[in-house]
Amino acid sequence: MESNHKGILHKHRPSIFILIAIMTLFYGCGVTVKYSFTGASTKGLSTFSVPFFQNRAPIVQPGLSQALTDGLIDKCKAQTSLKYTTSTADANFEGEITDYNTRPLSVAADAQAATNRFTISVRMKFTNAIDPTLSFEQTFSRYEDYSSNLDLSAVEQDLSNQIVDMLIEDIFNQAFVNW
């Protein structure tokens, strides 16, 4: 039985030595490698801030500002190693809701709307204090279509949540995913 174990160790000895050599190379040279499964790059940044989103849309939906603010904070906390601060940070997001509306999209044969489009737009200013070339000012707009047979109040909360998620993803990607 003992000779079997020695045979197995002897058989895999070159693989073990190669593994140890690779580990020593990376760790011994002081090389730090950061991997991000999201593709987010926060090089040089250590903090971020997201002041409360003001709602300047013609139609003000209660809770939308809070949902966008909290959602962006949660996204940055979950997908980066940046620390949240309420003061000026290395990465600063400033946003305002500029549009919140629903409009007819397509018309049926009887001249009635068949599909409506629900849209939310956000004006965003992102400031990267470490690398100003990555700063931007941009309006992000997302929509969801729904049947005109449905009353907006019946689908508004679900559609709003979906659109907020898409807007947060777009803003985050523009700020940190430099593909």
Q: Two tokens at 96? A: 């305002």
User: For the chain, what are the domain ranges?
Assistant: 1-33, 42-176
Q: In the CATH scheme, what is the code of domain 42-176?
A: 3.30.160.150
Q: Round to whole Å and give the CA distance between 158 and 139.
A: 22
Predicted structure pTM score: 0.76
Query: Which CA distances in Å does 94 have to 35, 64, 70, 127?
Result: 28, 15, 13, 8
The 8-class DSSP code of residue 39 comes to: -
Tens of pLDDT, residue by residue, the chain (179 residues): 545 555 555 555 555 555 455 544 444 444 333 334 456 788 899 999 999 999 999 999 999 999 999 999 999 999 999 999 999 999 999 999 999 999 988 776 666 768 999 999 999 999 999 999 999 999 999 999 999 889 999 999 999 999 999 999 999 999 999 65
Burial class of residue 76 (count of CB atoms within 10 Å of its CB; 0-12, 13-18, 19+): buried
Query: Mapped to the 3 state alphabet, what secondary structure does 45-82 carry?
Result: CCEEECCCCEECCCCCCCCHHHHHHHHHHHHHHHHCCC
Q: Which residue has the tokens 């949660």?
A: 74
